[in-house]
Structure 1
Amino acid sequence: MGASATKAPLLPELREDLRISEGAPLIWGAPTWVIYDPVRHKFFQIGQRTIEILSRWSSGNSATLRERLLKERAIRVGDDELERLMAFLRQHHLLAQGNAGSAASLYGLEKRLQAKSPLRRFQQLVFFRVPLVYPQAFLEATLPLVRPLMTRGFVWFTGAVLLLALYLVSRQYADLIESARGAFSPSGVVTYVLAIIILKSLHELGHAYQAVSRGLQVPVMGVAFMAMFPLLYTDVSDSWRLQKRRDKVLIDAGGMMTEMTIAVYATLAWCFLPDGPLRGAAFAAATSGWVFSLLVNLNPLMRFDGYYLLADSLGIQNLQTRAFAMGKWKMRRVLFNIAMPVPERLTNTLSAFMVSYAYAVWVYRFFLFLSIALLLYTFLFKALGVVFFFSALVAFIGKPVLAELKVWYGMRKQIRKSRRSWLSLGVLIAGVVLLLWPMSTRISVPVVLEYSQQYLVFPPDDARLEAVVFEEGQWVEAGDVLLRFSDPELEIEINKSQTRIAMYDSRLLSGAGDVAERSERVTLERLREEEAETLRALEAREAALIVKAAGAGVVKEKANDLRPGMWVDQKTLLGRIVAPGDFVVRGLINESDLERLDQSKPALFIADDVALPTAELSGIAISDYSVERLPDGYFASSNGGAIDVVSQSEERPVPKGVWYPLNAKIPAEAMETPLGLVVANRGIVALQSRPEALAKRVWGRIANVLIRESGF
């Protein structure tokens, strides 16, 4: 045994400046220990088995270490476990780095790595911190004033205040709606911004006071910038020394508890304050506290309060790092089925949670970093924006992917020997083939089916309704009377005109023998003729007040609540008359679909109403000019249509994107009950595209965006 111990490899020395202390137990009660690296200010949680090994690390070599563990603690340790532990210590720079002094050499190594990495420089440009204050002395001096607010009695009192505030708010619902409307005014927006700044400052003080009340140090408070967006932060990393999970959770929740408490008392204050700036500020404080605390801080996928609450509630330090390791291990096992040591031994439930959490964070980060890249591109001038856009993609998305591919390359010998690897490769090749294989796909064009012959019924002018002589579904012939209107002002004008004509006639007759009046006869005749022309125009307007059918057909969409005596605007549609015959289809086709359309293939109309039959179109015509505004409201998404619009308030809104008008016909016999249809039926026209690879389509859109945004 002595000979084998002599031949066993020597164990590398641990750094002398490391601190190891007992940590908070895991959620199932297992003890933990924490390794603190004072140089890099990092913490590493280890289990009881690992601390047993490290406490005997000074044994000199692996054989002696195993003998001591077996004799003293009845623990058997294999070579694989020791190799994994040494790899962990080496990866995180916890081993001594030679005789020059581990701390100094490690500090120099970190500085050199940061200086040599352009991607790290870019990341520090996008995500960086600015220390503002060193608050330890202030926090310790003011803690006695704040400590009463941390008692259980104050929590119960605040709960009672919350119930009272909610009751009072329910009695002032109208005032609440009015305050919400006022929040969107310029002064309301300014008040909201100031409220958020003050609340977030108090939020950070909530974390700090919770930490100081437990004897911890809060070395710095400041502002962190994430893609130019400022976020306040508080350094409470000294909480690694706490052994109770409850204490850590209270520190994590201190900020949100502060905001929620302020929101409760601000809500109560709003109920009693008169209208004015103070009440607006109270409303802003109340609503900002609820909304931001719940929607932003509770997100566990970002390193906000929600993440630390989750990690400390589970008793898992460095949750994201350890979850990522588990996620990568699971991914490699699924893809390659290689016997790889699990990063850490966990229960099946916790292991599944860690893997799921890792994948959720990766998906969230992908879209977050993509949004940050687009944000940088949008707010910077074009040339610098393009550089930052691609730099962000490389630094935040490309770098992790390349790092994983590098690991795969190092495992290439094992990967080649695994059958699962060839299966994964086959799936990958099949996916690439699907992306590159030209396929014909269906193009769906939003359309409206209408009668080809229809006559709209409008009032001839703003007029008073006297009689309604048509009904919904009634068959009418051309010239049939539909509505009778009257216009009192028009009747007065007609009477005045008739009176003037009678006056002219009287003067012309009475002055027949008078020489003086005979000299003015020509003038009187001219005036009478002009007045007669005016009267004929007025009588034509009066005749038009009797609305007649412009053609034969069935009455559709008769306006509701038509009653005699009501005034009707001339722009009000009172009904339609539709004639039997063919149907027309009006639609809008997107620019991207138009480029790949195969017009030689048949096109089918499919109505939203499942009771309508599917019909083939004929005479398809697509305009060469795009529309600036939608032809009517049927197509707008705000009215249930399929096209997103820029403005919802426009009578004819502007569509998002480029759309071209499409028109076609459907024979009458293709519809089972043509006169039983509503006037306008939404649906789609199913068209076929030319065979085209999905990769080509995607690249074409990307290229179009790049060309458009580059200004070429």
Structure 2
Amino acid sequence: MIVASFDGRTTVEEAIGRAANGEDRDGLLRGIGGMMAAGLIVVPGARPPQRQGNAAIKAVAGLAFTRCRIGDMGVVMPVFRPLLGWLYTPAGALVLLALIVGAAIAWAGRGPELAAHVARYGDLGVGDLIIGYLLFIGAKLLHEAGHAVAADRMAAAEGLTVGAHPWGVSFMFLLPAPYVDASSAWFLRSPWRRAAVGLAGVATDLLIAALAALAWAALGPGALRERMFDLVVICSVSSLLFNLNPLARLDGYYVLSDLLGIPNLMARAQAAFGRLVFGPFGMASWPAAADVPLGLYAAGSWVYRWTIYLSIFWLAGGHHWLLAGGVASVVALLFLALPLLRLARAAPGAFGRAPARATVFAAAVAGIITAVALLPLPNHVVVEGVVIRPGLSFVYPRTDGQLLAVAQPGPAGDTPVLRLQNPETDRMMTQLRAEAAAIAIEGRRARATGTEHVDSTLERQRAVANQIAGLQSEREQWEVTAPPGTLWEPLRAESLKGAWVRRDDARPLGVLLSEAPAEVRLVLDQWDGPAVLAALAATNDVRMALRLRGGSAVETEGRPLWPAIEARDSLPSPALALANGGSIPARTDDQGAARPVERVFELRVAPEASVAWRHGARVEARIALPPASLLDQSWRRIRQALQRRLAV
């Protein structure tokens, strides 16, 4: 308030006299002096303080946080005030809550439709991304206009007037987005009103999301409905995951700062984290007890930001490796290289102030780097496989019908493993038998009256008899009986019990297997295959732990059966494909079979103990590898993930 009264005619004493209202005049004078010393207030004839640091580093670091001001939003405020002003009142909050509840009710029970929209995001094109970004810009403009309107209303409640609403373009997680400078809210005395200004954008987003959700529920399938769903996702995710999150310097951060009464929360938290890490080594001042919560907040913010940056990189990698490389370059330069460069520039000063503790810090860092890069650690790999039992024969439905009974998995005896029924066949059988009886009566009458109709009657009798025999043969196929000495595995039959099955279904209902020992076939990709096979070949007595996928306990051990099959372009089971929950990236060939994108290695393993694993069961094997450093193990996995994601 004092600074706002500096108009070139009012002296500092006069401004303090108007605003003091009995407060500490000396404290206010010291505050004004501090602002002058920091260069925040320009005094004619005085030289501004010289800021330390490298100008080039600051220029590069400012690229990610640049704000380009375009103009004043006051020109369009007469439009936005009646459009959004009602929302930032108690009645507006109740209306917003009612709209959100109504949208939730409208979306209830529509899981399959929503899942179909979400699945669409797995194959987005450039046009979809452009449309989504334009929707984001439009929603963000209304979001920022909400801050400006709320700032006007909250200022008017305290008898103040906001003179201007500067707006322009800034960067939000590397993406250009519109912004409105709502720093005029700092003049509000009530922290709750300042928090209301901070939450105004989130309220606007939720209003847009609720209205779009209701429109989606009312529209039929089409492009407009898809855009409404996109708008719901954009507004809800951007508000709840980004803007409302206090770990980034967005709306939630300023609300938290206002309610806690801690101005410059992020800067103070980062300074506290620096004192906690570098203070004991003399590279910063000694930490205090109050630095602990602030330091934890800074660490959480750091983890959150890097999670967002890596997620952006991962999404970009799904479209093109050049786009992912650009994101990785910007993130590495701004948030990894520059902080390390600043640390390196600060290190000589720390050695000058406290050489002994700085030396200990440098030695500890060097020790950690050496241990990560050189210290060998136990190494292993977990690979997936599938249980194969020899003597496999598939069981298909031999006729159309309802699946009434399915035998339990295990040894097959004389009892049927499948039993079907077709009421239509029974009705046709009854009708044909009645027709046969009627034809027999008609034949006897024809023979009694003459011979001219006897031949046609006999032909009809033979035709009906053939139909009855065919239906009788079909009824005999309703039961499927397995030969003794085989194992029955109901693959799909268990889930289809009571359902209607067709004879032309190409998928088997179950399998019959001989009682020979099971075999586990492990599939190794191009990264794990050579290392695993080399490690197994170098050991005479090899035993690997085997367990069912998802289990925690090792159920048995197995021995590899040589030779391994290399450069294989097929999978022993489609369940091992990445699309079916496996670990091998695969594609579908012209025949509909799953083919690995890269050729794979197949290793057959014989379990040492007799296990009651079903045919097709998913198995995991833990195979020991030669010890390697943490850096080698991590880099190997990172390269594997990058190669698969970027397709290079």
Normalising to structure 2: TM-score of the pair?
0.67
* Aligned partners of 1:203 and 1:255 also within 8 Å: yes
Once the two structures are superposed, residues 175-203 of structure 1 have per-residue CA deviations (whole angstroms, 9 ceiling, x without a partner) of 79758867969999998766544432221
- How much has 1:174 moved relative to structure 2? 5.8
Query: Could you tell me which residue of structure 1 aligns to residue 567 of structure 2?
Result: 625
SS in 1 for 2:622: strand
Amino acid of the structure 2 residue aligned with 1:634: A
Tell me, in whole angstroms, the C-alpha distance in 2 between the residues paired with 1:202 and 1:565: 54
Shift of 1:135: 2.1
Summarize the alignment of residues 29-428 of structure 1 with structure 2, pairs less than 5 Å apart: 51=27, 54=30, 92-93=38-39, 101-102=46-47, 117=56, 119-123=57-61, 125=63, 127-139=65-77, 143=81, 150-156=88-94, 158-159=96-97, 165=102, 170=105, 173=108, 196-213=136-153, 214=155, 215-226=161-172, 229-263=175-209, 289-334=235-280, 336=281, 340-341=285-286, 348=289, 351-369=291-309, 389-390=328-329, 392-412=331-351, 415-418=354-357, 422=360, 425-426=363-364
Equivalent residues of 1:636, 1:653 under 8 A apart:
yes
Q: What is the aligned length?
A: 560
For the residues of structure 2 that align with 1:176 and 1:550, how far apart are their CA atoms?
A: 45
* Residues 623 and 136 of structure 1: CA distance in aligned 2, closer, same or farther (over 3 Å): same
The question of whether the paired residues in 2 share the 8 Å contact of 1:366 and 1:397 is answered with no
Instruction: Give, as a single letter, the amino acid of the residue that structure 2 aligns with 1:212.
Output: D
Q: In the TM superposition, what is the alpha-carbon distance from 1:324 to its structure 2 partner?
A: 0.6
Q: CA separation of 1:307/1:468 partners in 2, compared to 1, >3 Å: closer, same or farther?
A: closer
Matches of 2:313 and 2:502, distance apart in 1:
58
Distance in 2, Cα, partners of 1:610 & 1:550:
36
Corresponding residue number in structure 2 for 1:571: 506
Output the amino acid matched with 2:180. Answer: T
Deviations 1:420-466 (A, max 9, x none): 97488357515623531344522222122333x32313349777899
Secondary structure of the structure 2 residue equivalent to 1:576? strand
The separation in 2 between residues aligned to 1:564 and 1:320, in whole angstroms, is 61
Label 1:404 to 1:260 Cα distance change in 2 as closer, same or farther (>3 A): same
SS at match of 2:239: helix
CA offsets per residue over residues 137-190 of structure 1, 9 Å max, x none?
543797578655544344445555666x36xx6378467975886796999999
Q: Deviations over 1:596-636 (max 9, x none)?
A: 33113313241226787422314243222043x54323324
Q: CA RMSD in A?
A: 5.5
1:49 shift after superposition: 12
Q: CA deviation at 1:387?
A: 7.6
- Is 1:458 paired with 2:395? yes
Q: How does 1:611-650 map to 2 (within 5 A)?
A: 613-627=555-569, 630-636=571-577, 639=580, 641-643=582-584
Deviation at 1:208, TM superposition (A): 0.9
Q: Which amino acid aligns with 2:285?
A: M
- Relative to structure 1, the CA distance from residue 633 to residue 605 in structure 2 (aligned partners, 3 Å threshold; closer, same or farther) is farther
Contact 1:462 / 1:567 at 8 angstroms: preserved in 2?
yes
Question: Aligned partners of 1:327 and 1:132: how far apart in 2?
Answer: 36
Other-structure match for 2:455: none
**Separation of aligned partners in 2, 1:155 and 1:618:** 67
The equivalent residue for 2:624 is 688
Residues 1:190 and 1:403: Cα distance change in structure 2 (over 3 Å): closer
1:660 maps to 2:597: no
Match 1:436 to one of 364, 370, 374: 374
- Give the letter aligned to residue 410 of structure 1: G
- Cα deviation, 1:338-393, whole Å, max 9, x if unaligned, reads 88355xx8xx5x533211111112223334455667788998995x9868744641
Letter in 1 for 2:514: A
How far off its partner does 1:56 sit? 10
Whether contact under 8 Å (2:397, 2:501) holds in the other structure is no
1:463–1:121: structure 2 CA closer, same or farther, 3 Å change rule? same
| Alignment correspondent of 2:525 | 590
Amino acid aligned to 1:408: A
Give the aligned residue type for 1:136: G
> Is the Cα contact below 8 Å between 2:386 and 2:572 reproduced in 1?
no
> Contact 2:376 / 2:627 at 8 angstroms: preserved in 1?
yes
**Distance 1:475-1:565 versus aligned 2 partners, 3 A rule:** same
Q: Distance in 2 between matches of 1:466 and 1:157?
A: 53
CA separation in 1, counterparts of 2:229 and 2:574? 38
Contact preservation (8 Å) 2:381, 2:624: yes
* Cα pair distance change 1:364/1:50, threshold 3 Å: farther
Cα distance in 2 between the residues matched to 1:641 and 1:49 = 71
Alpha-carbon distance, 1:323 to partner: 0.9
User: How far, CA to CA, are the matches of 2:148 and 2:197 in structure 1?
Assistant: 8
Secondary structure in structure 1 of the residue aligned to 2:566: coil
Residues 211 and 239 of structure 1 are in contact (CA less than 8 Å); yes or no, is this contact kept in structure 2? yes
Q: For 2:309 and 2:498, how far apart are their aligned partners in 1?
A: 61
1:543-590 residue CA offsets vs partner (Å, 9 max, x unmatched) = x98989689433333744689996423634244333333332101113
Q: For the residues of structure 1 that align with 2:640 and 2:223, how far apart are their CA atoms?
A: 50
2:15 maps to which residue? none
- Does 1:581 pair with 2:523? no
Residues 373 and 393 of structure 1 are in contact (CA less than 8 Å); yes or no, is this contact kept in structure 2? no
| Secondary structure of residue in 2 paired with 1:686 | strand
TM-score normalized by the length of structure 1 = 0.62
> Structure 2: how far apart are the matches of 1:428 and 1:377?
33
1:446 aligns with 2:390: no
* TM superposition shift of 1:300: 1.7
- Partner AA of 1:666 in structure 2: P
Tell me which amino acid in the other structure corresponds to 2:543: A
1:607 aligned partner: 547
Letter in 1 for 2:351: R
Q: Hey, what's the Cα distance between the residues in 2 that align with 1:564 and 1:711? A: 43
Amino acid at match of 2:189: Q
Distance 2:641 2:282 in 1: 41
Gaps of 5+ in 1: 1-17, 22-46, 58-84, 489-540
Q: Which is greater in Rg?
A: 1
In percent, how many aligned pairs have the same letter? Answer: 23
Counterpart-to-counterpart distance in 1, 2:25 and 2:599: 65
The 3 A distance-change label for structure 1 pair 647 and 329 is farther
